């Protein structure tokens, strides 16, 4: 029944729902990371919690 109701929605509605869920998940992860840490450490923690793997060590070197 749930699948049938989801498929009755337009593609745009399903996309919007997915984007909203992704955004909510990101907010939940960020809320669990201490705000008193430096940005680089917070970003590394976020990546690990959200994607389940470590951020590449040279990531911040490439973006500077």
Where are any strands of DSSP class E within 1-64?
none
Q: Which of 27, 19, 21 is nearest to 49 (CA)?
A: 27
Task: Using the predicted structure, report yes or no on whether residue 64 has a pLDDT greater than 90.
Answer: no
pLDDT tens track for 18-60: 999 999 999 999 999 999 999 999 999 999 999 999 998 888 8
CA gap 5, 48 in Å, rounded: 34
pTM for the full model?
Answer: 0.76
What is the pLDDT confidence band of residue 62, given thresholds at 50, 70 and 90?
low
């Amino acid at each position: 029944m749930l699948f049938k109701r989801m498929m009755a929605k337009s593609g745009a509605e399903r996309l919007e729902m997915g984007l909203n869920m992704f955004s909510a998940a990101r907010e939940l992860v960020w809320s669990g990371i201490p705000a008193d840490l430096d940005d680089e450490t917070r970003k590394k923690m976020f990546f690990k919690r959200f994607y389940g793997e470590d951020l590449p060590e040279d990531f911040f070197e490439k973006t500077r």
